[in-house]
Homo-oligomer: A and B are copies of this chain.
Amino acid sequence: MKNFNFHNPTRILFGKGSIAELKDQVPADAKVLILYGGGSAERTGVLDQVREALAGRAILEFGGIEPNPRYATTLKAVEMIRENAVTFLLAVGGGSVIDATKFIAAAVKYDGDAWDILTSRGSVITQAVPFGSVLTLPATGSEMNSGGVITNPEKEAKLPFSSLYCYPVFSVLDPEVTYTLPSRQIANGVVDAFVHTIEQYLTYPVAARVQDGFAEALLRTLIELGPKALETPEDYDIRANLMWTATMALNGLIGAGVPQDWATHMIGHEITALNDTDHARTLAVVLPSLIDDQREAKREKLLQYASNVWNIREGSDDERIDAVIEATRGFFEQMGIKTRLGDYDVDADGINHIVSALKEHGMTALGEHNAIGPDEARRILEAAL
């Protein structure tokens, strides 16, 4: 096991009716800005539940945060917060709204050009406005970690940042609010959580039994319950397990003390920056191709993954690896998510563009061995056509 420093101060309020607990979690004397996305938080009644829990408080609202939240939008929120002396932010939404809120919380307190936060990956952050979240879409894990991703279409950039100042003070997870989510978003969320787990698990062994065992439990849960969530949307236990799984998949715990990959994410981000493909769908395209390409470097963990997650124990090493790659691809397809670049209108020209963007953004030594450069990325993308 590698040395690690683990700290996660976010409080989780989990379960039916937990939005009402906001009244005890948001400081009574705070001037609060509620941030949300499109119309769904309003339509589903989640915003009304939030307003009711905070009735009588000093509250402003900022809606319209996009999926793959835009830099320009966050700057508008920063301005509103400064003008109105807001002291506490409350994100109501999925990963995009929470990511944006983290960035906004840091940008409000940053004296320079907010773009520095992204070019420095967050290292210039020294403080942030305190914030909580009400999660409506289990997927990114943003509700219990300190990172986010912001998109700037003008620069064709989708850039990650993180900072120890960007943990939510609390996050409210009520599985019932996910009943009304479109299948597409549930499918995206399951695949996103799955690939988050894989990025921290499918590297090379370092004798980390706890982290591996936890990751395998999360993967098995997603494989078993993901398809069922699409069939029976109002099953509380299924939604509760998916919600908690997605949070645990990216709150730092399973990644503490182990190598991490993240090449699939970095390549996927450039696909989204190119043509706005849903984040999870880019992962479903890149991952099967990447693990096939990297099968030698990942051999031992691929065999462990085959055995412990998929119960694939027959055949030669390479046969089991082939089988587990196909099982992974099949799981994504079973969730209704296509796994080929062509399904998302990316062709050879698109690949050129993506590889150029990776270079431009300094993403030239990706993966747990820093061995995925532009040539390897091109090979992986071409195999995914």
| Contact-size category for A | 35 or more
Query: Known contacts A6-B11, A7-B12, A257-B14; is A1 also within 8 Å of B240 by CB?
Result: yes
Contact code string A231-254 (vs B, CB < 8 Å = 1, else 0): 000000100110011001000010
Q: What residue in chain B is nearest A241 (Cβ atoms)? A: B209
Q: What residue in chain B is nearest A235 (Cβ atoms)? A: B207
Which of B9, B244, B256 contacts A210 (CB under 8 A)?
Answer: B244
Determine if A60 is an interface residue (Cβ-Cβ < 8 Å): no
Cα distance A216–B4 in the bound complex, in angstroms = 23
Determine if A225 is an interface residue (Cβ-Cβ < 8 Å): yes
Determine if A13 is an interface residue (Cβ-Cβ < 8 Å): yes
Determine if A3 is an interface residue (Cβ-Cβ < 8 Å): yes
Oligomeric state, in number of copies? 2
Determine if A184 is an interface residue (Cβ-Cβ < 8 Å): no
Which of B14, B214, B218 contacts A4 (CB under 8 A)?
Answer: B14
Cα distance A253–B256 in the bound complex, in angstroms = 15
Q: What residue in chain B is nearest A222 (Cβ atoms)? A: B209
CB distance from A175 to the nearest CB of B (A): 8
19 chain-A/chain-B pairs, Cβ below 8 angstroms: A4-B12, A6-B14, A7-B11, A7-B12, A8-B8, A14-B256, A14-B257, A207-B241, A209-B220, A209-B224, A210-B217, A210-B218, A210-B241, A210-B248, A213-B214, A213-B218, A213-B221, A214-B217, A253-B253
Binding site for B on A (CB under 8 A): 1-18, 21, 207-210, 212-214, 216-218, 220-221, 224-225, 237, 240-241, 244-245, 248, 253, 256-257
**Beyond the given A5-B21, A210-B218, could you list 15 further A-B residue pairs with CB under 8 A, ordered by the A residue number?**
A1-B241, A3-B15, A4-B14, A4-B15, A5-B11, A7-B10, A7-B12, A9-B9, A14-B257, A207-B241, A208-B241, A210-B248, A213-B218, A217-B217, A253-B253
